Structure formats: C-alpha cells, structure tokens
Chains A and B, each alone.
Chain A
C-alpha cells in the first residue's frame, strides 16, 4: 500500500490514536515504511556496515523500526503538522537507528580511561612518524606552548568540562554516548563543550596565543 498518498496527516493521526477502525493496519503500514527507510539507509548510505549480510541488515532494520514505531506513538502529540506525517516519523526513526549504531560502536568506551592521563600523549612533544624534527629553538617553543596549553586546561576548565572537551572535540566520540556516560543529555553536553571551548580560548588569548600562531608552530611537528 502506498501510505504516503493514501493517508493524510489527519488520517494517520486518527488511525494511530485508535480513533478510526484501521489502527492495526496503520501501525503495520508505518512500521513497514520506517523499516524500508532504515534498511535503505543502512544498506546504501553506511559503508561501515558493508560487511554485514543482507539478512543481518534486514534484522537490524526490523528491530530499529519496531523501536522507532514505539517512539513515534509515544510522541504523536508533538507532531505539529509542518511536514508529511511520514517524514516526521522517519526523522524519529533515523534518530533511533543512528543512536543504536553509535551506542553499539562505543559499547566498550570508557570516558574515565580516555581522560585518566594527567598528561595525554597528544599534549606532549612526540614527533609523528614521518614528520621532520624541529630545530632545537622551535622544539623549545613548542614545549613551552604545550605546557601553557596544559596549564590553561587545568586552570580554566572543570573536570567535567575537560572530560567533555577531550571526548567530543579531540576524540570525536558521539555526544550522546558521552552524555550517557556523564549522566547528562546531548543538549547539556553541547553547552558544556561550548563553554569549555570559550573559556579555554579566552585563557589562551589572554596570554597572547592565537590559532594561527599555534597551528604554524606545530605545522611541521
């Protein structure tokens, strides 16, 4: 059945709320539609899942679509009618699917382990393989700037800000994964990282350090 052309937004809502007799059919139509959309995304847009069999991807899409359907039903009242209902529902499904993938990928991730080192390797002067070794004067300047960067981090940031910044900005760990580990939500974490970044920048700029200067200094490191 072509749900998109055969049901208006109002008809979807009435059916899913159980106000019309076709609630079971509407639930199945929506679940099926979400599954097809998720399957398309997983199979065509996710190169990281290319090694999975068609059966495995289908199973993933089924599970995600079922979860998404429940989420849609729970949040029906937040649909404002500013798009096709099915597009809004697909937005919910995409969030469910991508969240599941992120959580699975970072299942064993430890925020504490990531930020346990007081002087992480990336804040020390270890030449990357293939890099030219800097002249002694330049190496000394790099060491001094790294020391000031470390001091700024310790002086300007709280432990939570440091953890958030290192995980999200330095290691690209998804915010919802970090937020979960920190007992907060993605929005609050976004603000935490934003504030951390601004505080650190102000601290560094007050010492005369700019991005151009730092980037140039470490260019050939």
Chain B
C-alpha cells in the first residue's frame, strides 16, 4: 500500500486521538515537572494519562518531551559536561 494513503486512512480513523482531551500547549506545560518525575522512575501514564495519550498521537510533543527527558537524565547521571 502507498505509505501516504496508509497514513491518511490511519489518521482519519484514529479513535485514539478522539479521546485525547488536551492540545499541544496544555500538554507541554507539564513537561518540566514530568521530566523530573519520569527521570526519577515515575510513569507519565500513571501521573497524567491525558498527557501520555497526547504524546502517543503527537509526534512533535513526543519529540520535545523525549528530548527534555534525555537531557535531565543525562544531567542527573553527570553525562552533561560541565565547563
């Protein structure tokens, strides 16, 4: 199947996105707090399931959250070089 057609059909019928109650801005205002908690072992889904739902269907928010999380984890592990 043509990949773009597949994406369109999957997107049109994505029930998951229907139940997602929050938008990108609402999602991202939680990132800093969540990143600290997730870096300490917590789960986004347990803390804020609506944010997890949004991350599951929004590539951009997910990219931004994972980026922040990677930096916080690296900082906590001493992997971010200090000057």
User: Which residues of A does B touch, CB under 8 Å?
Assistant: 2, 4, 32, 36-41, 44-45, 82-84, 87-88, 90-91, 94-95, 97-98, 120-123, 126, 128, 131, 149, 165, 169-172, 174-176, 186-187, 190-191, 194, 197-198, 200-201, 204, 210-211, 214-215, 218-221
> Number of B residues contacting the other chain (C-beta, 8 Å)?
42
Q: Min CB distance, A20 to chain B, in Å?
A: 22
In the assembled complex, B42 has its CB within 8 A of some CB on chain A:
no
Bound-state CA distance A91–B33 (Å) is 10
Most buried by B among A94, A171, A214: A94
- Say yes or no: B68 contacts A36, CB within 8 Å: no
- Say yes or no: B63 contacts A211, CB within 8 Å: no
Chain B contacts of A210 at CB under 8 A? 13
Closest to A202 in B: B12
In the assembled complex, B48 has its CB within 8 A of some CB on chain A:
no
Chain B contacts of A218 at CB under 8 A? 1-2, 5-6, 9
- Say yes or no: B74 contacts A40, CB within 8 Å: yes
Q: Min CB distance, B82 to chain A, in Å?
A: 7
Chain B contacts of A215 at CB under 8 A? 1, 6, 9-10
Closest to B30 in A: A82
Q: Min CB distance, B80 to chain A, in Å?
A: 5
Closest to A221 in B: B1
Closest 7 A-B residue pairs measured CB to CB? A211-B13, A122-B4, A169-B11, A83-B32, A37-B71, A91-B32, A88-B32
User: Which residues of B does A touch, CB under 8 Å?
Assistant: 1-14, 17-18, 23-25, 28, 31-33, 35-36, 58-60, 63-64, 67-68, 70-72, 74-75, 79-83
Q: Min CB distance, B24 to chain A, in Å?
A: 5
- Please tell me which one of the listed residues A187, A194, A211 contacts residue B25 in the complex, with CB atoms under 8 A apart: A187
- Say yes or no: B12 contacts A211, CB within 8 Å: yes
- Say yes or no: B1 contacts A95, CB within 8 Å: no
- Say yes or no: B60 contacts A174, CB within 8 Å: yes
Bound-state CA distance A107–B15 (Å) is 33
- Say yes or no: A186 contacts B24, CB within 8 Å: yes
Q: Min CB distance, B59 to chain A, in Å?
A: 7
